[in-house]
Structure 1
Amino acid sequence: MATREALWNYRDEFGDAFGRTYFRRFGPGVASSIGLGTYLGDPIPAVDDASREAIDLALRSGVNHVDTAVNYRCGRAERVVGEAVRNSPIDRDAVVVATKGGFLPFDGERPDDPAAYVRERFIEPEIVAPDDLANGAHAIAPDYLEWSLDRSLNRLGLDTVDCYYVHNPETQLVTRSREAVYDQLETAFEALERRRTAGDIGAYGVATWHAFRVAEDDERYLSLAEVLARAEAAGEAVGPDDDHGFGAIQLPFNVAMADAFTRRNQRSPGDDSEPVSTLELAHEAGLSVVTSASIGQGDLAVEGAIPADIDATLAGETPAQRALNFARSAPGVTSSLVGTSDLDHVRENVAAGTFDPLGASAFDAVFE
């Protein structure tokens, strides 16, 4: 598990090479504000090898935050992350490793008949109940999440993950009410509180796509305040004290998807004041915010993709660097993920951190 001392030592070793606020508070210490994502890529050995090298280079270059999920690249992404972290010259406890559970994973490759695979591998062995499934491939029932966490730890070959996300809980809104999803999350958080007490995870959170970005009346919407309230209830129920381990949220954020900053769709519980943005409420709650799709899965890494007036305000030598620095500049953002298995792209992304992000006033001015 990442430790305060090791994280700060990593910052002391690499920090002078980067711009201001490159390292930011995360978990027990600090972590790089550029993180490595592992979502994209075919589930083939060649991508495994390239990803392993990319993670190794990133860890040795000043990026100590690696994000994955049990279902990424049919389960291969976790194996590669674990191998790279275990074999790196960087100490394991100087690296923040995050993974996710929610989507049912394949085992190394996509099956010819996914529905039959789910039935034979998950439903018939009673790993997941049919009533717990949404869209035929998503579950957040506590027993399933515990199975998924065990699967992740095994694939990673690690004793602990530093942050464990419930993955896209809004998927469950397809089959049940919003209140029922909050109830599901509370029981899931109770299970994760027990695993936190056991030392299997350092903290937990939710990784979303739509939930915290859409309007309050959107069918995919979830209230961050209510999700937090359910984590507080889980912490009180599990004990041994009233604290809880809900520490982070993950959501898409980039120059083309800035809703988490621009849309005021979140309200504090029992608060009659005006709604605030997700980033503002997360900051008030002391949560780490990790952005996914920080360069639009590559779409923003080409000349002209960023509007010219915004592009002119951003530091960086390449469009990808400027796009990444836009995401890192948003008030309340802790770390921005960018995925690649290309070593030159790793170097380019790391170099984005040598430029200073926009200050809060300058970032606000982008939207005036």
Structure 2
Amino acid sequence: MTADLALGTYRCQAIPEAAVRAAASGAQWVDTAPNYATGQAQVLLAPALAAHPSLNVSTKTGYFTAATGTDAVNTGVLTEDQAAAGHSLTPDYVRWQTSRNRAELGRDRLDLTLLHNPERTHPGDRPALHCAIRDAFEVLEGETAAGNVAGYGIATWAGLEEEAFTVGELLALAAEAAGGHHHLAAIQLPVSLVMMTPIVQALDGRGPLPAAADAGLRVMASAPLHGGELPGMVGQELADLIRPCLTPAQACVLAVASCPGVTDVLIAASGAPHWREAADAVAQPSLTAAKLREITGVLASP
């Protein structure tokens, strides 16, 4: 069974229209962040979320724009030096940004709040990083108890691959933060035919994807087309190897959607044709593990 298609807004050029289109097509999730679209993504999403209350939204805390940083300084949750960094996981900031996210999205309760690239905090110092993650999780547990957040997680670019943290460690930190039963619910990481490590590991039953699946976590695959570059790197011959009659873009999306453990594939499709193309790809029967091994083997060969 292939993963579901979800709207990602990082590179989306027409966020309101794309969100309405995604909801109308039956998509269940839209992913965003307070720093996307120069800080306007959440405000742009709000009308579509109001019109489609069944559409789940995942957003983030961590990165912020300069304007948001100034607001955070003026309200006393960040120092000027902290704001200059453009990223923070301090408890006061996480609490403040979560409230701001709710206001900008027009939602009393956020479906998912993800720590945005937590590996950017204390790089190279795993104990300090894990302490910061645990403290942020503690804030999000409080937000969950207050009914402001349904679940939380992490959105990482390199943290899992570089083992700044593992899924097992995140689960342990969440349990520590909660004092027992926790609400860690999701991880988001890049999975593509360029960033193949999670696929290769999953096929061998190791790495973050099987660990997340075993724990019942939602796994959102980001950058499945590697920022739009991948279709130009994949010829029709490779696309036909993946599944005959698919375009290169569709073949790349299907490979990610077929990866064991992935539950959602984030596509920043600004136009209707691109969304429809991706939707047709995930509607295909899933690729077998043998086929995925063949594909990754071909791509890994010199």
Instruction: Check whether the contact 2:236–2:247 (CA below 8 A) recurs between aligned residues.
Output: no
Match of 1:83 in 2: 47
> Secondary structure of 1:213's match?
coil
- Return the match for 1:284 from 195, 214, 222: 214
Q: Deviations over 1:190-211 (max 9, x none)?
A: 1101111111111100000001
> Secondary structure of 1:298's match?
coil
Aligned amino acid, residue 289 of structure 1: V
1:160 Cα shift? Answer: 1.2
Instruction: Check whether the contact 1:310–1:366 (CA below 8 A) recurs between aligned residues.
Output: no
Match of 1:98 in 2: 58
1:263 Cα shift? Answer: 5.0
Q: Deviations over 1:137-180 (max 9, x none)?
A: 11001110111111111110111111110100000133x72101
Question: Aligned runs of 1:57-76 on 2, under 5 Å?
Answer: 57-76=21-40
Identity of aligned residues (%): 31
Match of 2:72 in 1: 122
1:132 Cα shift? Answer: 5.3
Distance 2:79 2:168 in 1: 29
Output the aligned Cα RMSD: 2.4
More displaced stretch, 176-185 vs 150-159: 176-185
Question: Aligned runs of 1:1-20 on 2, under 5 Å?
Answer: none
- Which runs of 5 or more structure 2 residues have no equivalent in the other structure? 298-302
1:357 Cα shift? Answer: 2.0
- Return the match for 2:127 from 179, 182, 195: 179
Instruction: Check whether the contact 1:102–1:166 (CA below 8 A) recurs between aligned residues.
Output: yes
Match of 2:196 in 1: 258
Distance 2:214 2:239 in 1: 27
Match of 1:39 in 2: 10
Instruction: Check whether the contact 1:192–1:204 (CA below 8 A) recurs between aligned residues.
Output: yes
Match of 1:326 in 2: 255
Aligned amino acid, residue 213 of structure 2: H
1:51 Cα shift? Answer: 2.0
Distance 1:121 1:151 in 2: 11
Distance 2:245 2:286 in 1: 10
Instruction: Check whether the contact 1:255–1:306 (CA below 8 A) recurs between aligned residues.
Output: no
Instruction: Check whether the contact 1:51–1:340 (CA below 8 A) recurs between aligned residues.
Output: no
Question: Aligned runs of 1:1-368 on 2, under 5 Å?
Answer: 21-22=1-2, 33-41=4-12, 47=13, 50-88=14-52, 92=53, 94-107=54-67, 118=69, 120-129=70-79, 136-174=85-123, 177-214=125-162, 216=163, 221-236=164-179, 242-262=180-200, 276-302=206-232, 304-305=233-234, 308-309=237-238, 311-314=240-243, 317-368=246-297
Distance 2:133 2:265 in 1: 25
Distance 1:316 1:285 in 2: 36
Aligned amino acid, residue 47 of structure 2: E
More helix by share: 2
- Count of paired positions: 296
Aligned amino acid, residue 5 of structure 2: I
- Which runs of 5 or more structure 1 residues have no equivalent in the other structure? 1-20, 25-32, 42-46, 108-116, 237-241, 265-273
1:70 Cα shift? Answer: 1.0
Q: TM-score, with normalisation over the residues of structure 1?
A: 0.74
> Secondary structure of 1:52's match?
helix
Q: TM-score, with normalisation over the residues of structure 2?
A: 0.89
Distance 1:157 1:367 in 2: 42
Instruction: Check whether the contact 1:75–1:106 (CA below 8 A) recurs between aligned residues.
Output: no
> Secondary structure of 1:325's match?
helix
Aligned amino acid, residue 331 of structure 1: P
